[in-house]
Amino acid sequence: MKVIVLGAGILGVTSAYQLAKAGHEVTVVDRQPGPALETSFANAGEVSFGYCSPWAAPGIPAKAMKWLFMKHAPLILRPKFDVAMLSWMVRMLSNCTSERYAINKSRMLRLADYSRIALAELRAETGIAYDERMQGTLQLFRTQQQLDASAKDVKALAADGIPYEVLDRDGCIRVEPALKHVREKIVGGLLTPKDETGDCFKFTNALAAKAEALGVRFAYGTTIEALDVEAGRVCGVVTARAGNHDRGRERMSADAVVVALGSYSPLLLKPLGIRLPVYPVKGYSLTIPITDASRAPESTVMDETFKIAITRLGDRIRVGGMAEISGYTNDLGLARRSTLEHSVTDLFPGGDVSKASFWSGLRPMTPDGTPVIGPTKIKGLFLNTGHGTLGWTMSTGSARLIGDLVSGRSPEIDAKDLAVSRYG
C-alpha cells in the first residue's frame, strides 16, 4: 500500500519505520527541514515506562491552585477566550476522579510496557545510539510530606507489578552520587529502576536514516494544508512547499494516511468533522554542557517540588518541565528559564548555565493523558498523536500498533480503547 505519514516528529518517524518494515511504500511529510524539529527536539529525555501517569488525577485541581501562585510555578495558565482551551480544561478536570484515573493510567501503562519491549527490540535490530542510559528515574523528595504522599504511588506501582525502591537520603545518594553535596536538601526518593533515558532528537534522526535505507521517502519543507477525502475514504493530502503558497497546491495520493502532527493534529481533522481533544501544553527545557561530572546526574532525577526533570544526556544535562496553558505559542519567558536554572543549580551545579540553550515545545495533550492511536470514521485515515507528556516513552509501542492496524493485522496488545472513538 501507498502510505503517507504526516509529521516527522518521534511519532511520525517511528510509525514510518514500522510501516516500511511491514512492506508499505511510505512517504513522510513535514514542514520543517528535517526530523524532530518541533516538540521532539529537546524534551526532558526520560523514557519512563514506570513513572507513567496521567496528569488528570484526584487532588490535582486543589494542587493546581497552589502551583499557580508559587514563585517557581510548575503550572502557568494564561486564560483567553478560546473554545478549544476551555473545553479541554473542563474535560481534563472531569478526568480527575479515582475511577477515570485508574482507567487512564492502566491504558498508559499498557502502552508504556509494550513500548519498553518495542524499544529494546528496535535498539537490538538497528544498533542506533542516542546517549541512552538504563539507570532508572529517581523521584526526589525535599520534604517529609512529599515522601509520605508517595505512599499512594508506591501502592499503584505495586498493584501494576512495576519494580520500585523507596529510598532514604543515603539510598538516593547511592543512586545519584552528586546528591552528596546537597544531602541536607533531600529527605528521600522513589526509584523506578527499569526506566531509561535518551536523546529523543538523536534517536529520531538516527531512525529516520534507517527508515530511508528501507525506502521511506521524506518530503521536508512541505506544509500539509488539507486531507483529500472522497466518498468517506482518504485518498491523499493537499500540500504546499514552504514559501510556495502563491504557486498553488500539490496533491499527493495514498491508500492510507497516518496523522502524527502532534499538537497540530486537531486543526487538520476539524474540517472533516473529527473532533480530537488535543490541546498544546507548553513546556520548557535547558540543555547545559557539563563542566564537573561529579556534580551532574547519572540518570533522570524528578525534582518533585518544582515538577522538573533533570537528566544526563552524554556530556550534557537536560532540565525540562512546566506546564503552560497559553495556546499555540513558543515564546520563551525569562521567568521560566530562571525556574529551570534554580532547580538544576540547587541540586546539580555541574554544568555551565551561561552556555545553556533554552527551548520550548508544545506537548500534544489529551484531557485523559492517553494518546489517540487507531482508525477514524474515514476509511484509510489513522491517528497516532496526543502523546502529551510521554511521547518519547510511548513512541515505539504506538508505532508498532499503527504498523499492525494500517496493515490490517491484529495488534499485539488491546488497542480498541486507544482510538478516537473512545471520546464518543
Binding site residues, as ranges? 3-17
Q: CB 391 → ligand FAD: shortest distance, Å? A: 2
**Nearer CB in complex with ligand FAD: 181/378:** 378
Amino acid at 391: G
Taking alpha carbons only, the member of 302, 23, 306, 87 closest to residue 190 is 302
3-state helix, strand, coil in the chain (%, to 5): 40, 25, 35
Residue pointed to by grid coordinates 546526574: 297
**Nearer CB in complex with ligand FAD: 85/310:** 310
Taking alpha carbons only, the member of 386, 388, 321 closest to residue 358 is 321
Under 8 Å between Cβ of 221 and 31 = yes
Provide DSSP, 329-387.
-----HHHHHHHHHHHHHH---B-GGG-EEEEEEEEE-TTS--EEEE-SSBTEEEEE--
Q: Does 137 bind ligand FAD (CB under 6 A)?
A: no
Residue from the set 5, 12, 27, 257 that interacts with ligand FAD by CB under 6 A: 12
Residue from the set 18, 24, 28, 31 that interacts with ligand FAD by CB under 6 A: 31
Binding-site residues for FAD: 3-17
Q: Does 32 bind ligand FAD (CB under 6 A)?
A: yes
Taking alpha carbons only, the member of 30, 204, 194 closest to residue 126 is 204
Q: Does 391 bind ligand FAD (CB under 6 A)?
A: yes
> Which residues face 325 on adjacent strands?
77
Q: Does 9 bind ligand FAD (CB under 6 A)?
A: yes
Q: Does 95 bind ligand FAD (CB under 6 A)?
A: no
Window 227-286: residues binding ligand FAD (CB under 6 A): 260-262, 264, 283-285
Q: CB 237 → ligand FAD: shortest distance, Å? A: 9
Task: Give the number of residues in contact with ligand FAD, rule: CB under 6 A.
Answer: 39
Residue from the set 22, 27, 45, 54 that interacts with ligand FAD by CB under 6 A: 45
Residue from the set 363, 367, 383, 402 that interacts with ligand FAD by CB under 6 A: 363
- DSSP one-letter code for 49: S
Residue from the set 22, 44, 56, 140 that interacts with ligand FAD by CB under 6 A: 44
Amino acid at 150: S
Residue from the set 38, 298, 304, 368 that interacts with ligand FAD by CB under 6 A: 38
The SS3 of residue 133 is strand
- DSSP one-letter code for 149: H
Q: CB 424 → ligand FAD: shortest distance, Å? A: 23
| Residue 224, number of CB atoms within 10 A of its CB | 23
Q: Residues 275-304 vs ligand FAD: string with x where CB under 6 A? A: --------xxx-------------------
Under 8 Å between Cβ of 289 and 355 = yes
Q: Does 344 bind ligand FAD (CB under 6 A)?
A: no
Q: Please give the residue ranges that form the binding site for ligand FAD (CB under 6 A).
A: 7-12, 30-32, 37-40, 43-46, 223-224, 260-262, 264, 283-285, 309, 320, 361, 363-364, 385, 387-393
